[in-house]
Amino acid sequence: MSVDYPSTEDQALLTYIAHRQAEALSALYDRYGRLLYSVAYHLVGNQQLAEEITLDVFRRVWEKADSYRADRASVRTWLTSMTRNRAIDMLRREGVRPEHNSISWADLTIEPHVDGHSPETAVSQKMQKQRIHAALADLPEEQQEVLVLAFFRGYSHSQIADQLAMPLGTVKTRIRLGMQKLKLVLQP
């Protein structure tokens, strides 16, 4: 009896992967590869590193599929967490973060930004961005996911539905609910 891997549930795919069914890994990659690449790219900002991270995550899935625990997280959450962790590890390894000691206060000057805004305006805008990111982080993952794709990646509703393999109506509902929650949290 052959298995229809593309229509198999995520947890069952992991069981097949744990039993070394390569077709199951391929189906999981088809389902989540673009999402994990997007997460990695968003964190590292480099196409080659994002591809490397994505492939490394799927290599780890192949090696450790039996370590997945359904009572702790959904498969999607497990995969995105591995991707985030791998991206952070890679950034640390590559030394992308600037050294704090390399900045000299004597070298810094306060000048208006190129766009004409004062430093106060820039600080205010940065604080607003931080509030938005914090509010996004408090949303349920399924709402975060569609909002990030829609507003930070510029995807259309139908592109999001295609990428996440879900009905268009579900995408629209999640965006609407997420926006309503953000408005409540971000109102002055």
pLDDT at 25 over 70: yes
> How confident is the model at residue 29, as a pLDDT?
93
Output helix, strand, coil percentages for the chain, rounded to the nearest 5.
75, 0, 25
The pair of three-digit structure tokens given for residue 175, joined into one six-digit string: 């965006």
9-13 long-range contacts, CB within 8 A, separation 24+: 10/74, 10/75, 10/76, 11/68, 11/70, 11/75, 13/75
Of 23-27, 49-53, 131-135, 160-164, the poorest mean pLDDT is in 131-135
> How confident is the model at residue 110, as a pLDDT?
40
For the chain, which domains are there?
Answer: 5-94 (1.10.1740.10), 117-186 (1.10.10.10)
